[in-house]
A and B are shown apart, each in its own frame.
Chain A
Amino acid sequence: MDDSAVSADRVRAGDARATARLISMIEREDPSRLAVLKALHAYGGKAHVVGITGPPGAGKSTLTDKLVGDLRGRGRKVAVIAVDPSSPFTGGAILGDRIRMQRHATDDGVYIRSLATRGHLGGLSRAASEAVRVLDAAGYDDVIIETVGVGQSEVDIVRIADTVVLVSVPGLGDDIQAIKAGVMEIGDVFCVNKADKDGAERVVREIRAMLETAVLNGAATRFTPLFEARSALRGDAGNAGGATEAVASRGPAEQGAFHHITAQATGHPNLEIPPVVKTVAETGEGIGPLVDEIKAHEAALAATGFLRSRREANLAWELGRGAAQRVLSELERDESRETLAELARSVLDRGIDYYDALDALEDAMKRTQRAATTA
């Protein structure tokens, strides 16, 4: 198949080859992808984008495989983007997440794509957000993104996913690990996998304690504003008949939001914290409840209007990054390099200072831009 045969219609019709080729064009930043992406734009925005993240060996791929199976059982079409690291030296990669998911290979309702990071840090590949938009427009109901095995600060996934599932396992470290800043803060739903292993209960307790303490300390969290908005909705429903009707008129899935994410009693029964679900992905134990919580989170986002505001914030961030990328490519051009070198010389010779040089550079770039728009 030639790249030029890739069209929005073929992608929309569920043609896996066209979808796959389009994602390859995205990966190598082929300009000819843009026409197809633009044509797909109108159809996006429907999929629930779920991020699965956690340390290497936590069982993310096996868990993803089981999530796909469960979601298929609920009649949903599912796409998976599985990211693994590229070698910083050769650029090569072993993409092995698919091994755990091959039982879905011949299911037409499932599309699985492995992506290498290709030098991008942060747990994802640069192609990930555009690939998600393609799979969304292609009509997959759920798009699951499995990040690379993360350490402590790969948090890119929050910029793409509606719902982030943070997977932990017993045996990784002491309770200080759970209170460090970074990855541990980004979960909307927490999953303790390999829960049949010693120490699983302790991990559950530590995660809950971490989340509760964040609330008690009044720290900014991802979940508190959502829970407050949801409580406000619930409060309205209790106070006025009209509001009760408003809740009743929401779909059953959205009503579920009010029941599912419940305060979980450890030391503080009244604090609302995200759910912590125990799973044994290998056997499928706990998968149903995990999917219930993922869907309840989506329902809560939808009911409170947070789905839209979260997507708006993420898109604004991505636009900013896109603009920065354009500026960077502009600076890669030969003329820009010359300007940069000239300014550097002036700074070195103490002719102008560093900040004057930055201002001069900005002016020069604006002039080029104006010339480009009037031309």
Chain B
Amino acid sequence: MERTIRVLVAKPGLDGHDRGAKVIARALRDAGMEVIYTGLRQTPEQIVSAAVQEDVDVVAMSILSGAHNHLFPRVMELLKEKGVDDVLVIGGGVIPDDDIPGLKGAGIAAVFTPGSPTGDIIEFIKKNLKRKA
């Protein structure tokens, strides 16, 4: 049976805007993926725990609050603590270009800023899965 890609879409931190996250969730769904949406105001601990319980291939996080430099690396840290090294983690939201290299250094595989075509995100996920079918 063909492997279905499972993606956790999460909104870490305190901003309450999830229009973008929902658009991405819907696009991934229409690309044949199973999307677990966790809703707003998630702590990094909740996100990592949900990623483990749901056995996802991808964690996609969206932040508009400006707290990305803290929250994204924290999620990577917790994943590492739990020994999870086979999950692709991507980020998105209002993120200044200058911050992107640092986030990538922390292990975020890609950062998609406003205006990114959803097709690019889907393609990136399909090409960069850490677990192979």
Contact = CB atoms under 8 A, between A and B. Distances in A.
A105 B49 contact: yes
Interface in B22-46: 25-26, 28-39, 42-43, 45-46
A205 to B, nearest CB: 36
Given A28-B4, A29-B1, 18 more contacts: A1-B84, A17-B55, A17-B83, A20-B53, A21-B55, A23-B55, A27-B4, A28-B3, A87-B29, A90-B32, A92-B30, A92-B34, A98-B36, A102-B50, A105-B38, A105-B45, A113-B53, A114-B54
Interface residues of A, number: 30
B82 interface: yes
A92 B32 contact: yes
Q: Which 5 A-B pairs have the closest CB atoms?
A: A20-B55, A99-B39, A92-B29, A105-B46, A105-B49
B94 interface: no
Interface string B38-68: 1100110110011011110000000000000
Interface residues of B, number: 32
13 contacts: A1-B84, A16-B49, A20-B52, A24-B55, A27-B4, A28-B1, A29-B1, A92-B31, A92-B35, A94-B26, A95-B36, A105-B45, A105-B46
Select the residue from A20, A21, A111 with max chain B CB neighbours within 10 A: A20
B99 interface: no
Given A1-B83, A17-B82, A102-B46, A92 B33 contact: yes
A165 B52 CA distance: 29
Interface in A105-142: 105-106, 111-114, 116, 118
A16 B45 CA distance: 14
Contacts of B86: 1
B30 A20 contact: no
A96 interface: yes
B38 A17 contact: no
A94 B26 CA distance: 7
A86 interface: yes
A16 B48 CA distance: 12
A323 interface: no
A91 interface: yes
